A and B are shown apart, each in its own frame.
Chain A
């Protein structure tokens, strides 16, 4: 699986958009970009994923550059409850017996401030 690079920490004002970047310059054509987050003392939580098109769901938007070498997770109106570590993970959409696992990098610690 391709390696990802994320800033170790970011701050965001409550109510503003939080834009979390991820660099994955060695991504392969069949690798998806997944985002998970981990709120303190909880297990990781799936947010969103995409291959090459931009994606949006009730939690966030995912913008993937045309060359797919980087992406940005956008939380449109950050709240204090969005304070967490955000992990960008790149992997193939493998079947159950082909290494269906997540390799977490360091992530970005997002602090949403009042």
Chain B
């Protein structure tokens, strides 16, 4: 099973709302990622979690707050977003081991399409 599950698939929220995106994997991967993808653009990395600890934050605004409660689950908490934050949010996971390149293959979920009104 190489599945990464993201919920919800679609989300519409106002600028004053608080919402959360959820990502789950049961492959035993210890690295998890959030990417943001605007229309007709490539995905851009936001955060990396390694062994449940935040290891990379690509200068993401604080209105995006990631959380990794356990090795299988990754959340992205959203608060006071702007319309320009509307995008496809992708979660990925990888084995996270050192060394052999094949173990760093990332598996992606289908994404959450977010619209901020």
A residues at B contact (CB < 8 Å): 32, 38, 41-46, 49, 51, 87, 93-97, 99-107
Contact = CB atoms under 8 A, between A and B. Distances in A.
Contacts, number: 66
A102 B56 CA distance: 12
A107 B101 CA distance: 21
B90 interface: yes
A54 B101 CA distance: 15
B99 interface: yes
Contacts of A101: 33, 45, 48, 56
B77 interface: no
B108 A43 contact: yes
Contacts of B66: none
Contacts of B64: none
A105 B104 CA distance: 19
Interface in B77-117: 90, 92, 94, 96-102, 104-111
B69 interface: no
Contacts of A44: 43, 90, 92, 106, 108
Contact of A42 (B33, B94, B96, B110): B110
Interface size class of B (residues with CB under 8 A): 20 to 34
Contacts of A107: 42
B6 to A, nearest CB: 8
Nearest to A99: B56
Contacts of A105: 42
Contact of A96 (B51, B102, B109): B51
B90 A104 contact: no
Nearest to A106: B42
Given A43-B92, A93-B99, A103 B45 contact: yes
B97 A95 contact: yes
B67 interface: no
Interface string B38-74: 0000111100101100011000000000000000000
The 3 closest A-B pairs by CB, nearest first: A43-B108, A93-B101, A104-B42
